[in-house]
């Protein structure tokens, strides 16, 4: 717990993280593995806070289709009920005899109206039924207008298709040690003008008070003109590094978390995209190195990249003990 003493005074503190330094006010890691902040918001009505549009954009395709289908059924049940209340005889052309069949026909008349198919065998007679049918057709069209936008939004929303290695490695590197993580773009999209930034957060004890402290981790190369293949971020643990002189125990006591931030311009979206992840001390591996992910194809005319080799590493002895 004597962490403060062993902490490298030459390491550059990061003041602009936007994260709180009072470690008694916040709990757990700052960011989850998927890059979302580990924070819960209270005190404003749920719907206002939710941002329905972005919630729909984040749903999986199956959930999205399920919600649409259930809403479709729900809508038709609702309108079928209204047609029954108005009176089934205001729906002209029904052939049903039993009550169940009548409800069924009202339900499918509703579906034909909502989707604007309108076969017309069944059709509304009288003001009330005609009015509800007109309202339903309008509702249907607005719903599909909405869905059109949501579908487009789901597809067109720019995002970074980047996978990160499961672990952060302490790797023997140029007579010393470096901390490395690896990333790879996993679709045909590729990024240009990419920038990466690592920030370390630690809890330290200062005058008997536990505080969060933030450090920027310098990268050997922090920019890439293009990101078409795997990229390994290398933080050399030298005298400027906050990891300098730290032991595994310190790193764990400090509940160390490495925040990863990657920004680039995606050519397919023609838009800046941002990717983020975080590694906590439990995801560190001491003494290992990443194995290559790509090799030439058979006739040496192109390169083959193995996306599933992203996490491949082998043990490698470190020159310094952690």
- The structure tokens 């005889």 sit at 89
As measured in angstroms, the least distance from the Cβ of 223 to a second copy is 5
Which residues lie below 8 Å from residue 177, measured CB to CB, with a gap of 6+?
A: 170, 171, 237, 318, 319, 320, 322
Which is closer to a second copy, CB of 65 or CB of 320? Answer: 65
Residue 212: how many CB atoms within 10 A of its CB?
21
Cα dihedral sign, 299-311-319-12: positive
As measured in angstroms, the least distance from the Cβ of 245 to a second copy is 26
Which is closer to a second copy, CB of 298 or CB of 321? Answer: 298
As measured in angstroms, the least distance from the Cβ of 54 to a second copy is 5
As measured in angstroms, the least distance from the Cβ of 244 to a second copy is 23
Which is closer to a second copy, CB of 52 or CB of 320? Answer: 52
As measured in angstroms, the least distance from the Cβ of 9 to a second copy is 22
Which is closer to a second copy, CB of 85 or CB of 142? Answer: 142
**What are the C-alpha distances in Å from 26 to residues 21, 82, 318?**
9, 52, 35
As measured in angstroms, the least distance from the Cβ of 206 to a second copy is 17
Which is closer to a second copy, CB of 99 or CB of 187? Answer: 187
CB 29 within 8 A of CB 258: no
Q: What is the DSSP string of 95-111?
A: ---SHHHHHHHHHHHHH
- The structure tokens 């630690």 sit at 202
Q: Token pair of 304, please? A: 């083959």
Query: What residues form DSSP beta bridges with 169?
Result: 180, 285
Say how far apart CA 13 and CA 22 lie, in whole Å: 15
Q: Phi, psi (5° rounding) for residue 49?
A: -80, -25
Which is closer to a second copy, CB of 106 or CB of 288? Answer: 106
226 three-class SS = strand
Q: What is the DSSP letter of 45?
A: -
Which is closer to a second copy, CB of 167 or CB of 230? Answer: 230
Which is closer to a second copy, CB of 112 or CB of 167? Answer: 112
CB 313 within 8 A of CB 237: no
As measured in angstroms, the least distance from the Cβ of 178 to a second copy is 16
Cα dihedral sign, 156-261-32-27: negative
As measured in angstroms, the least distance from the Cβ of 227 to a second copy is 5
């Amino acid at each position: 717990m004597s962490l403060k003493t062993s902490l490298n005074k030459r390491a550059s503190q990061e003041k602009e993280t936007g994260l709180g330094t009072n470690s008694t006010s916040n709990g757990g890691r700052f960011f989850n593995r998927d890059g979302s902040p580990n924070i819960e918001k209270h005190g404003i009505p749920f719907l206002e806070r939710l941002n329905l549009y972005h919630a729909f954009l984040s749903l999986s395709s199956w959930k999205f289709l399920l919600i649409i289908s259930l809403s479709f059924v729900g809508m038709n049940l609702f309108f079928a009920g209204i047609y029954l209340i108005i009176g089934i005889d205001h729906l002209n052309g029904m052939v049903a005899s039993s009550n169940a069949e009548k409800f069924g026909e009202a339900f499918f008349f509703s579906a034909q109206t909502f989707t604007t198919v309108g076969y017309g065998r069944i059709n509304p007679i009288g003001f009330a039924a005609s009015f509800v049918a007109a309202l339903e057709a309008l509702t249907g069209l607005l719903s599909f207008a909405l869905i059109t936008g949501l579908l487009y939004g789901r597809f067109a929303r720019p995002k970074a298709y980047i996978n990160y290695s499961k672990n952060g490695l302490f790797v023997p590197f140029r007579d010393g040690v470096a901390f490395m993580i690896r990333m790879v773009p996993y679709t045909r999209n590729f990024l240009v003008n990419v920038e990466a930034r690592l920030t370390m957060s630690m809890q330290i004890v200062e005058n008997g008070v536990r505080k969060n402290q933030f450090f920027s981790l310098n990268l050997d190369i922090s920019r890439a003109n293009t990101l078409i293949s795997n990229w390994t971020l290398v933080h050399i643990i030298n005298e400027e590094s906050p990891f300098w002189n730290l032991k595994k125990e310190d790193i764990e006591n400090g509940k160390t978390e490495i925040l990863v931030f990657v920004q680039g311009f995606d050519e397919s979206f023609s838009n800046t995209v941002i990717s983020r992840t975080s590694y906590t001390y439990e995801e560190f591996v001491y003494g290992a190195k990443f194995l290559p992910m790509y090799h030439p194809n058979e006739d040496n005319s192109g390169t083959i990249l193995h996306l599933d080799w992203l996490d491949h590493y082998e043990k490698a002895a470190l020159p310094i003990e952690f």
